[in-house]
Amino acid sequence: DTGVSQDPRHKITKRGQNVTFRCDPISEHNRLYWYRQTLGQGPEFLTYFQNEAQLEKSRLLSDRFSAERPKGSFSTLEIQRTEQGDSAMYLCASSLSAGSYGYTFGSGTRLTVV
């Protein structure tokens, strides 16, 4: 297992376009998280799943954002009608629900909206 994989690593899109990111977690991890990080800030929680159930969504996750984890394995994060303010690093992480060792993060998808 090579850890948490995110695809693509970089995405440049025009304002108003839709984008979709994919995250493949560590295979035995049942929890999957999405965070957003902008320049000079720490990661900000967006949403998380336990298996295929979406357990919590942040108020940062506007109606233009949607996340899915259809079979409890990989997850997608879609942003519709992108805005310049959506430019950020989108980080995915996974963990077991039990234990206390923290998440394993992927390397992130950097989104630039022009």
Partner 1 sequence: DQQVKQNSPSLSVQEGRISILNCDYTNSMFDYFLWYKKYPAEGPTFLISISSIKDKNEDGRFTVFLNKSAKHLSLHIVPSQPGDSAVYFCAASYLNSGNTPLVFGKGTRLSVIA
The answer to whether residue 70 forms part of the interface with partner 1 (CB under 8 A) is no
Strands 109-113 and 10-13: parallel
The answer to whether residue 104 forms part of the interface with partner 1 (CB under 8 A) is yes
How many C-alpha atoms does 114 have within 13 Å on its Cβ side?
Answer: 4
**Binding mask of the shown chain, residues 80 to 99, with x at each position contacting partner 1 by CB under 8 A:** -----------x-x-xxxxx
Task: By CB under 8 A, name the one of 7, 20, 22, 44 that touches partner 1.
Answer: 44
Chain contacts with partner 1 (rule: CB under 8 A): 4, 31, 33, 40-45, 48, 56, 58, 91, 93, 95-108
